């Protein structure tokens, strides 16, 4: 997929492709997807600054099947589910997506390799949403540091419980 000699600096926020034409024409593009632009992913992030490098290439195989090859790399800071601080997570995705036209039979038995999947062909496939979907699928269920402690309760004086007043009334 290194057909594009330019560095990965082109923002891909608004890039849409006709997926079947892109595959037929052996299209290639590379750029950056900003973390702040990925609304579903950003809810899980400790730090929403930065971006991920994305490379997308179209292919047709000898059986005339259309494919998208997607590579995503970078690093994101997720929220640790134990201590509620940032935990670094390396993103390294290398997916092969078979494009399925309407009415085409989905190849369930052919997709035994985890790097291969099938998606609907789309005349206006948003590269940002495709990249976000693949990143979300690659995330751990409960991101945590190797070793950390849950946050401690703040050392501030607690107000008396309203139920304590009720308990006092009950004694009378």
The pLDDT > 90 percentage for the chain reads 55
How does DSSP classify residue 131? H
Distance (Å, whole) CA 69 – CA 15: 16
Q: What is the pLDDT of residues 94-143, one digit of tens each?
A: 999 999 887 777 766 555 666 678 888 899 999 999 999 999 999 999 99
**Number of domains the chain is built from:** 1
In a domain, 134, yes or no: yes
Nearest Cα residue to 68 out of 37, 99, 45? 99
pTM, entire model? 0.77
What are the residues facing 69 on neighbouring strands? 57, 96
Range of the domain at 162: 16-170
In a domain, 87, yes or no: yes
In a domain, 144, yes or no: yes
pLDDT band at 4 (very low <50, low <70, confident <90, very high): very low
In a domain, 10, yes or no: no
């Amino acid at each position: 997929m290194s057909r594009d000699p330019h560095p990965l600096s082109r923002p891909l926020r608004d890039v849409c492709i006709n997926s079947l034409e892109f595959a037929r024409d052996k299209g290639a593009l590379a750029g950056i997807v900003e973390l702040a632009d990925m609304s579903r992913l950003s809810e899980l992030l400790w730090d929403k600054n930065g971006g991920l490098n994305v490379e997308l290439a179209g292919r047709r195989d000898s059986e005339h099947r259309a494919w998208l090859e997607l590579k995503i790399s970078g690093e994101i800071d997720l929220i640790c589910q134990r201590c509620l601080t940032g935990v670094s997570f390396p993103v390294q995705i290398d997916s092969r997506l078979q494009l399925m036209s309407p009415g085409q039979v989905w190849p369930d038995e052919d997709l035994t390799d985890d790097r291969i999947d099938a998606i609907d062909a789309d005349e206006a496939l948003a590269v940002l949403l495709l990249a976000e979907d693949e990143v979300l699928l690659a995330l751990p269920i409960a991101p945590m540091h190797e070793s950390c402690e849950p946050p401690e309760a703040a050392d501030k004086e607690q107000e008396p419980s309203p139920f304590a007043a009720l308990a006092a009334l009950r004694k009378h």
